[in-house]
């Protein structure tokens, strides 16, 4: 994963948040479960770290999204 867009999906399940991170160019997806009280940025960082590990890359910061 040298470049490319990463999509995040957040689904609350009770007091936990299921976060999926998808690397668009490769279609690789990982899922993490985080406490619902964690910030969105913290959730993204955990999911992105797992995705990068799966793809064998160094850490990368998620781009901020405006909603």
The pLDDT tens digits of the residues spanning 10-60 come to 999 999 999 999 999 999 999 999 999 999 999 999 999 999 999 987 555
The pLDDT tens digits of the residues spanning 32-46 come to 999 999 999 999 999
Written as one string, the DSSP assignment of 7-60 is EEEEEEETTEEEEEEEETTTTEEEEEEEETTS-HHHHHHHHHHHHHHHHT----
Supply the pLDDT for residue 1. 46
Supply the pLDDT for residue 3. 73
């Amino acid at each position: 994963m040298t470049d490319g867009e990463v999509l995040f999906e957040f689904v609350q399940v009770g007091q936990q948040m299921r976060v999926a991170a998808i690397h668009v160019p490769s279609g690789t997806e990982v899922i993490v479960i985080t406490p619902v009280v964690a910030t969105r940025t913290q959730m993204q960082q955990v999911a992105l770290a797992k995705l990068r590990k799966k793809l064998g890359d160094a850490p990368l910061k998620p781009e901020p999204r405006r909603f």
